[in-house]
Structure 1
Amino acid sequence: MTGIWTESTIAIRFLREGRSQSALILIGIGVGVAVIVFINALITGLQDNIIDRTLGTQSHIRLSAPDEVNQILPLSDDSVQLVLESKRAQRLRSINNWLQLRDVLDTLPEVTAVSPIISGPAFARRGEALESVALVGIDSERYQRILPISEDIIEGVFQVGAGKTVIGKQLAIELGVSAGDKLRLQTGQGGDSVLSIAGIFELGVRELDARYVYLDMSQAQSLLNLPGAATVIDMTVTDIFRADITATRISRLTGQKVESWMETNAQLLNALQSQSLSTNMISMFVALSVALGIASVLSVSVVQRTREIGILRAIGITRTQMLLVFLIQGALFGLFGSLLGGISGYLLVWIFNTFGPRLFFIPLDLSLLVAASMLATLTGVISASIPAHRAAHLDPVEAIRHV
């Protein structure tokens, strides 16, 4: 008897004879895989929600001019220099050759959007009310690729330029204004302008909703007395978890100060990494329990079928074929158990999305089911290797004598 068909037939027959054991181990594997699928999908959905809420209001990488430093004049060789140095105050200034830098950054394959900005402090005044704000002068078309602010407009329309501005909801409340009202902006550089409020946005971050005032770049340049300037270049990247590597590359390429969200949001990054680590640990322990379950069931099967194994060896089944019989059983346990668990896990995800508290949405990714099935099948084969080796090396004569 030759061919994989023979080993598969014997393996399936053994499984059918021990239906109760087979059913229990399949249920156990199914529960384990369901836990892996649901927990991974849950953590992925939670991380996507956190990233969207946090990074959805900021760029992934920010480029600005290098910090200004004090210049210390050299002395003669025989002089002793004692210096008490205070860090130099940083003035608001433009990035040198920012137009050329913007065009270079546009060509980088890992960068998905580039938006030059001119930003600086100002005061917003209406009547007796006075609030400190951050002017954000933008190229509207480019900035929308970084932060689609037009989707967050709750009153009026998104329109900057030609004497129009857009402000946050909290700032509108504090100043007592609404869309269509006038707003005076004053800066420390002597800029003073009265603009019409075209729209009011709500980003969901109180600090941003209370401070951001969006203008056209030319309006902000005039108010900040920096004609033709850009103080920041914002960027988004394809892989946010490699933003620090991309930022380092851009810094070396341009010679400018470049920071990624991973530097400015270190606590968020630590939380995301902790979540991923805990998920991996859960998956590892569940996979280990599944492997032990498969190994124990097949070990019992070898003991129970010692006489049958001896007869099969006596009529011509080779050690390699007997080894394959039990490896196939392990693979079948892993494959069908993972399919049962995958379906159960996706059912749990559907229940959460449909009847859950609606805190966030869990995405359904079929690649997760494929990965879980491959992992469970491989686990089944590996866990079956020890009992399979034992079965293959049973002495036929001693096995037949076994009662």
Structure 2
Amino acid sequence: MIFDFLLRFLFSKRAGAVIRRISWLTVGGLTVSVAALIVVLSVMRALNERVQERTLATEPHLWVEVPGVSAQVLDTHPVVEKIRAHADWRSFAEETQDVILRTLDGRFQGAVARGMTDAGLATLLKQINSVGEKTGTEGPVFPEDPMAPGEVLVGVDLAHSMGIFEGDSLMVLPPEGLLLPAGEAPKFEKVRVRRILTTNLADVDAKNIFYLKGKTLGVLANSPSRHQGIVVWTGDANSVDTYKAELEKLSGVRVQTWRERNSALFLALKLEKLVIGLFLGIAALVAGFSLLSVMGLLVSQKRKEMGLLQSIGLGPHSLKRLLIGIGVSLGGLGLLAGGLLGTLISLILQFHPLRVLPDIYYDAEIPASTDWFLILVVLVVGFALSYVGSANIGSTLYKSSPSELLRNQSRA
């Protein structure tokens, strides 16, 4: 019955051109805005997941450090035994330090040098390859071709900014060398660029160089910026907080999770998704305000019909349910159409990503990851707002008697 009244009051030729057009605009506006909200947030969710995958390929789940302990003593520390007790964990010694790179033609730039063992570097490159194959991006990785002493891997963006090519030579200096008095030469080591490494992660490609621990940059071993630690890839990247609490029970052990080491990146991604979702949600809300206009016109133009319905036995509560049903049905048409359209587009992009961007971007594809909870929330909130708006618009009509409605049919 409600759907029949909806068609007769809002979409039939007798409804009037104004109310009929506004009704169609309401349905169309809700459809487009809800579909856009679902598609955009699904795409952003997929892009964020890809950033996380690439981050976990190059970033260990845990960085374990014991301040004041040398690399030799660290190998026998109790924390190492505790890490090795987990059969599904992979751990390797690693050292990091800030360095200054200088090319032969005099270009300078700061970087972060990561010294890894043969096994650790092979694991890192294998994971980069795995993520590249999964996302369809290339990464020049070669775990079967070991590096020699004095060779480094350079991030692709860092190499581009300094004009570095494979086979070029670099001078690596510690940052404290800039504080030496004039005329005193700082310590430095000359290295050869073995390969240009692409991880499709901006911070790594633009800042990092990789070398074999203990075989390269030995001259910089006493640099104050060098940190010794253990990198750990656990069986579950989402349980790192529990693992961190377990390892920090040992005295003097400092542990950082991959979320903490990349907190600025993931906070920026969350804020970006929140702000865009908020603006699209406001756009959908504005489109939904036209529903109030439709219900207001319906109440003002159909007072006589409402009075006739009450005179033949339709009670105030039944009239209230009828008007609310018309409003919710009108909003529901737009919500369901937009929800179905947005879900369909998201599923198509999820299984068949759209490749329209040039390869200069980290993500040349436009993927999607359908969030069913988000779709449910959008529909529930939309129906709730439709109910509240419809109930408030017709509140004066419910309290009027049939004679008042028939006598004052022209009064809004």
Q: By the TM > 0.5 criterion, same fold?
A: yes
The residue aligned with 2:44 is 43
- 1:101 has 2:82 as partner: yes
- 1:391 has 2:388 as partner: no
2:153 aligned to which of 168, 177, 183: 168
1:283 aligned to which of 272, 280, 298: 280
CA shift for structure 1 position 399: 0.8
The alignment's TM-score, normalised by the length of structure 1, stands at 0.64
Which one-letter code corresponds to 1:357 in the other structure?
Answer: L
Q: Distance in 2 between matches of 1:275 and 1:103?
A: 39
Q: Distance in 1 between matches of 2:265 and 2:53?
A: 12
Q: Distance in 2 between matches of 1:286 and 1:105?
A: 50
CA shift for structure 1 position 303: 1.2
The residue aligned with 1:301 is 298
Assess, with a 3 A threshold, how the Cα gap between structure 1 residues 29 and 214 changes in structure 2: closer, same or farther: same
1:116 aligned to which of 69, 91, 99: 91
Assess, with a 3 A threshold, how the Cα gap between structure 1 residues 104 and 208 changes in structure 2: closer, same or farther: farther
The residue aligned with 1:16 is 11
Contact 2:316 2:399 in 1 (8 A): yes
CA shift for structure 1 position 292: 2.0
The residue aligned with 2:199 is 203
Deviation larger for 263-272 or 308-317: 263-272
Which one-letter code corresponds to 2:333 in the other structure?
Answer: F
The residue aligned with 2:357 is 357
Q: Distance in 1 between matches of 2:249 and 2:368?
A: 37
CA shift for structure 1 position 103: 5.5
Q: Distance in 2 between matches of 1:21 and 1:333?
A: 11
Give percent identity, aligned residues only.
Answer: 16
Assess, with a 3 A threshold, how the Cα gap between structure 1 residues 253 and 378 changes in structure 2: closer, same or farther: farther
Aligned counterparts, 1:2-401, within 5 A: 6-17=1-12, 18=15, 19-65=20-66, 67-68=67-68, 91-92=70-71, 93-94=73-74, 96-102=77-83, 114-120=89-95, 134-137=114-117, 143=123, 147-149=127-129, 154=140, 156-158=142-144, 168=153, 173=165, 175=167, 202-204=198-200, 205-206=204-205, 211-213=209-211, 231-235=229-233, 245-246=241-242, 249-250=245-246, 252-253=248-249, 256-342=253-339, 345=342, 354=354, 356-357=356-357, 359=361, 360=363, 361-365=366-370, 367=372, 368-401=374-407
Instruction: Describe the superposition over 1:130-176 as per-residue Cα deviations: whole angstroms up to 9, x where unpaired.
Output: xx964312656994699345667636543669x99996366995656
Q: How many aligned residue pairs are there?
A: 331
The residue aligned with 1:82 is none
The residue aligned with 1:72 is none
Contact 1:30 1:340 in 2 (8 A): yes
CA shift for structure 1 position 116: 0.9
Instruction: Describe the superposition over 1:303-359 as per-residue Cα deviations: whole angstroms up to 9, x where unpaired.
Output: 111111112122222222222222222322232212333455468777995474254
CA shift for structure 1 position 100: 4.1
Q: Distance in 1 between matches of 2:198 and 2:151?
A: 11
Deviation larger for 91-100 or 288-297: 91-100
The residue aligned with 1:85 is none
Assess, with a 3 A threshold, how the Cα gap between structure 1 residues 257 and 310 changes in structure 2: closer, same or farther: same
Q: Distance in 1 between matches of 2:408 and 2:335?
A: 35
Deviation larger for 270-279 or 356-365: 356-365
CA shift for structure 1 position 396: 1.7
Q: Distance in 1 between matches of 2:121 and 2:400?
A: 75
Instruction: Describe the superposition over 1:185-218 as per-residue Cα deviations: whole angstroms up to 9, x where unpaired.
Output: xxxxxxxxxxxx9998543544676x32368xx9
Contact 1:164 1:198 in 2 (8 A): no
Contact 1:31 1:341 in 2 (8 A): yes
CA shift for structure 1 position 273: 3.1
Contact 2:58 2:128 in 1 (8 A): no
Root-mean-square deviation (CA, aligned residues, Å) is: 4.6
Structure 1: stretches of 5+ with no match in the other structure: 1-5, 69-89, 107-112, 124-131, 178-196, 225-229
The alignment's TM-score, normalised by the length of structure 2, stands at 0.63
Assess, with a 3 A threshold, how the Cα gap between structure 1 residues 395 and 212 changes in structure 2: closer, same or farther: same
Which one-letter code corresponds to 2:383 in the other structure?
Answer: T
Q: Distance in 1 between matches of 2:36 and 2:382?
A: 13
Q: Distance in 1 between matches of 2:152 and 2:113?
A: 10
Assess, with a 3 A threshold, how the Cα gap between structure 1 residues 147 and 354 changes in structure 2: closer, same or farther: closer
Contact 1:160 1:198 in 2 (8 A): no
Which one-letter code corresponds to 1:119 in the other structure?
Answer: E
Contact 1:299 1:387 in 2 (8 A): yes
Secondary structure of 1:376's aligned partner: helix
Deviation larger for 343-352 or 34-43: 343-352
Q: Distance in 2 between matches of 1:46 and 1:387?
A: 42
Structure 2: stretches of 5+ with no match in the other structure: 100-111, 133-137, 170-192, 222-227
Contact 2:5 2:326 in 1 (8 A): no
CA shift for structure 1 position 35: 3.1
Assess, with a 3 A threshold, how the Cα gap between structure 1 residues 114 and 298 changes in structure 2: closer, same or farther: farther
Q: Distance in 2 between matches of 1:311 and 1:148?
A: 73
